[in-house]
Amino acid sequence: MSQISTQEILDDLEFFDNWEERYKYIIDLGKELTPMPESKRTPERLVKGCQSDVWLDVDKQDDKLIFHVDSDAIIVRGLLVLVMAAYNEKSAQQIVDFDIEGYFSQLDLERHISPTRGNGLRAIVAKIQALAKAGL
């Protein structure tokens, strides 16, 4: 999947009149996510705290963190794209400095997903931020 920016996502979501259309857009984003190979879908890559299975792997390229993510749930794959727009191919400092709360607020997402999905989203963000802080 080509990297999409947080601003592109926010602009695209503004275009839709209702949350049903926004969900379809998020699901479509998830369909573009490159699947993680089965060999990388290991227990140590599972993100704890998610309702669905979510796998997270990271590589470092120069000073950038490259994340590989996947989920067994199509809507979660879309949510992962939203998170990756904020964090993928960024430096550890950029990840730590990014205002994820402000971004989520602009998305108005948490009012429209279940509390368990919201908790899972926070678990993914916490794991990424912890990896970034460890890299600083």
Specify the 3-state DSSP secondary structure of 8. helix
Taking Cα atoms as reference points, which of 90, 84, 82 lies closest to residue 69? 84
Q: Looking at this protein, which amino acid is placed at residue 128?
A: I
Is residue 50 among the annotated active site residues?
yes
CA dist., res. 26 & res. 90, Å (int): 22
Catalytic residue (choose from 9, 29, 50, 128): 50
Active site residues: 50
